[in-house]
Amino acid sequence: MALTFYWYPKCGTCQKAKKWLDNHDIAYTDVHIVDAPPTKEQLLDFIAKSGLPAKKFFNTSGKKYREQNIKDKIKDASTEEMAELLASDGMLIKRPIITDGEKVTVGFKEETFNEYWLEK
């Protein structure tokens, strides 16, 4: 199972997730989420496969989220509009995002990683 790991190297949560993957010998390809953010189409796919609402993909604690008043911009936005906004700037995206093409997780919670990414 080859994973794609979208991350920002300076992000503490991403570092914890990376350490978890490494400690469990899980192979992944890492993608710098700011240098190469997912496209609108990829984000729409991630949103659909994650089962989460599109709003959960926003980095609500990020500086750009607050500075650009994204909370108000997305209040009545469609999933398409939110994906477009997310694709415009990797710093707006909650991270890390991990996918195997079928499943998608956003953020890092050890219980979730144990459930989704450990071979059963």
First to last CA, the chain: 12
Domain range 3-117, CATH architecture: 3-Layer(aba) Sandwich (3.40)
Q: DSSP 3-state assignment of 3?
A: strand
Say what the pTM is. Answer: 0.94
Q: Which sequence spans correspond to the domains of the chain?
A: 3-117
- Per-residue model confidence as pLDDT tens for the chain (120 residues): 589 999 999 999 999 999 999 999 999 999 999 999 999 999 999 999 999 999 999 999 999 999 999 999 999 999 999 999 999 999 999 999 999 999 999 999 999 999 999 975
Q: Which two tokens stand for residue 45?
A: 């796919």
CA distance 115 to 13: 18
